[in-house]
């Protein structure tokens, strides 16, 4: 089973919840950090990373001696990653989405398959927890393919898979949560938390995927997040209190269920409710 941990905004506590669920699991579990722009699950789980490989996209490289400037590749590309100047095609590989269409339509076979490094894929073990993460190359804007690679690696493992998704409601989130058996949206009792939770709920409903909510720092604010969830018939599975002890542990890289062991049964019960 794949459980995704997501939210509409950053800083709500996705990694706190994802790590807690992984530590609460009884059987085989694999933690996949899909927040490739800023992976931080390793700070809390402290895995031994014994595998590392580069992940790259296939991009076109123009063979000038063969190119006639016919423009077939330019007409096909919807991302303006390849164009024609005079009688010569030119590829802008930073815009390329690696669909491969340009290779198929070029009548002169004037495109070679080059590589564009997207980032690194790392995997290892954190005690009994399998671990994988992606790290996007600095300056790279296209996170979704690397997220898909992290998910593919996690899908090869046995047992429960915890997908720690990136923040927001754009393409990286979609790449992380699509096809998950259940998504836990982590929110907070703040106006920003409620606003961005509503955006994330809209995405999950559009995808027609089951989801519920966990409210972090639940005793702050005016309670409007929980009230809105009740009005929308959205299950609120857990409410985590705001405590200095928890914040100090987070700053020191200590998981929530180690700072507050009394919360571990709640996460174990939640997993039993969600898993068949």
pLDDT at 276 over 80: no
**Among residues 132, 127, 96, which one has the least CA distance to residue 111?**
96
pLDDT value at position 87?
Answer: 87
**Tokens 């409210």 sit on residue:** 215
Degrees (nearest 5) of the Cα angle 136, 168, 53? 20
What does the mean pLDDT of the chain come to?
94
Residue 31's DSSP bridge partners are 131, 162
Rounded CA separation 77/231 (Å): 45
Poorest-pLDDT segment among 117-121, 170-174, 191-195, 219-223 = 219-223
Crossing angle of helices 264-274 and 14-24, in 10° steps, is: 80
- Decide: helix, strand or coil at residue 202: helix
Number of CB atoms found within 10 A of residue 222's CB:
11
pLDDT on residue 158: 82
How many Å apart are CA 142 and CA 136, to the nearest integer?
8
Residues 216, 222, 225, 227: is their CA dihedral positive or negative?
A: positive
Vertex 142 angle, CA 167 and 125, to 5°: 65
Digit-coded pLDDT (tens) for 6-58: 998 888 999 999 999 999 999 899 999 999 999 999 999 999 999 999 999 99
Could you read off the pLDDT of 132-179 as tens digits, one per residue?
A: 999 999 999 899 999 999 999 998 888 999 999 999 999 999 999 999
Residue 236 or 221, more confident:
236
Give residue 99's pLDDT.
94
pLDDT tier at 195 (50, 70, 90 boundaries)? Answer: very high
- Residues 224, 200 contacting (CB under 8 angstroms): no
Does the reported pTM lie above 0.85?
Answer: yes
Residue 86: pLDDT over 90:
no
Whether the CB-CB separation of 67 and 86 falls below 8 Å is answered with: no
* Tally of CB atoms within 10 A around 113: 11
What's the rounded mean pLDDT across residues 71-91? 94
> Per DSSP, which regions of 92-154 are E strands?
111-126, 129-136
| pLDDT band of 256, cuts 50, 70, 90 | very high
CB environment 30-65: b (16+ within 10 A), e (fewer): bbbbbbbbebebbebbebeeeeeeebbbebbebeee
Q: What are 182's strand-pairing partners? A: 3
Does residue 241 have a pLDDT over 80?
A: yes
Q: Please give the domain boundaries of the chain with CATH numbers for all domains.
A: 2-55+119-274 (3.40.50.300), 64-109 (3.30.70.20)
- CB atoms inside a 10 Å sphere around CB 174: 16
């Amino acid at each position: 089973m794949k459980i995704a941990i997501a939210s509409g905004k950053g800083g709500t506590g996705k990694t706190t919840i994802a790590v807690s669920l992984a530590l609460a699991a009884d059987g085989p579990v694999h933690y996949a950090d899909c927040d490739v722009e800023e992976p931080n699950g390793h700070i809390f789980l402290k895995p031994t990373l014994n595998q590392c490989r580069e992940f790259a996209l296939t991009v076109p490289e123009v063979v000038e001696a063969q190119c006639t400037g016919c423009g077939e590749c330019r007409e096909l590309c919807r991302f303006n990653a390849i164009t024609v100047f005079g009688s010569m095609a030119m590829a802008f590989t930073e815009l390329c989405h690696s669909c491969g269409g340009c290779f198929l339509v070029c009548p002169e076979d004037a495109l070679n398959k080059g590589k564009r490094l997207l980032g690194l894929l790392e995997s290892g073990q954190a005690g009994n927890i399998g671990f994988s993460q992606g790290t996007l190359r600095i300056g790279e804007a296209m996170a979704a393919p690397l997220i898909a690679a992290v998910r593919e690696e996690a899908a090869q493992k046995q047992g429960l898979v915890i997908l720690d998704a990136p923040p927001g409601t754009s393409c990286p989130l979609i790449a992380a949560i699509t096809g998950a058996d259940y998504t836990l949206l982590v929110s907070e009792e703040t106006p920003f938390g409620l606003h961005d939770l509503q955006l994330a709920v809209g995405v999950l409903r559009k995808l027609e995927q089951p989801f519920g909510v966990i409210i972090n720092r639940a005793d702050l604010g005016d309670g409007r997040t929980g009230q809105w969830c009740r009005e929308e018939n959205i299950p609120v599975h857990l409410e985590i209190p705001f405590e200095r002890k928890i914040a100090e542990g987070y700053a020191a890289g200590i998981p929530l269920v180690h700072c507050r062991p009394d919360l571990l049964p709640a996460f174990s019960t939640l997993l039993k409710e969600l898993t068949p």
